[in-house]
Amino acid sequence: NAGVTQTPKFQVLKTGQSMTLQCAQDMNHNSMYWYRQDPGMGLRLIYYSASEGTTDKGEVPNGYNVSRLNKREFSLRLESAAPSQTSVYFCASLLTASYGYTFGSGTRLTVV
């Protein structure tokens, strides 16, 4: 049982390049989330998907798009990367509020 799998683990982009961060969970969870973590800032919500077929903006959505491809997969896309998007990105999933989140191990993105 892999839990939440994020790919890639590391990525370096040039300013203006695009890329998609992949996230998949095998726990049949309903809700999925993308957070970014910056030093001294905690984790901030970018987008979330409360159920298959729905997506909503979080606290810091600008510069990102998401796709809930199916119940298992929730991808995060940077259309034109900027240095301000250098961060560690975490995907998480949730069955119900009673069980808490399961986080992936993160994608470390550097934009130069």
Site for another protein, rule CB under 8 A: 4, 31, 33, 35, 40-45, 48-50, 56, 58-59, 90, 92, 94, 97-98, 100-101, 103-106
Q: How far is the CB of 16 from another protein (least distance, A)?
A: 28
DSSP strands (E only) in the chain? 4-7, 10-13, 19-25, 31-38, 42-49, 56-57, 64-68, 74-78, 87-94, 101-103, 107-111
- Cβ proximity of 15 and 112 under 8 Å: yes
Q: How far is the CB of 65 from another protein (least distance, A)?
A: 17
Q: Quote the CA–CA distance of 111 and 87 in Å, as a whole number.
A: 9
Q: How far is the CB of 103 from another protein (least distance, A)?
A: 3
Q: How far is the CB of 79 from another protein (least distance, A)?
A: 23
- Cβ distance to another protein smaller for residue 12 or 41: 41
- Cβ proximity of 44 and 25 under 8 Å: no
- Cβ distance to another protein smaller for residue 12 or 16: 12
- Cβ distance to another protein smaller for residue 62 or 98: 98
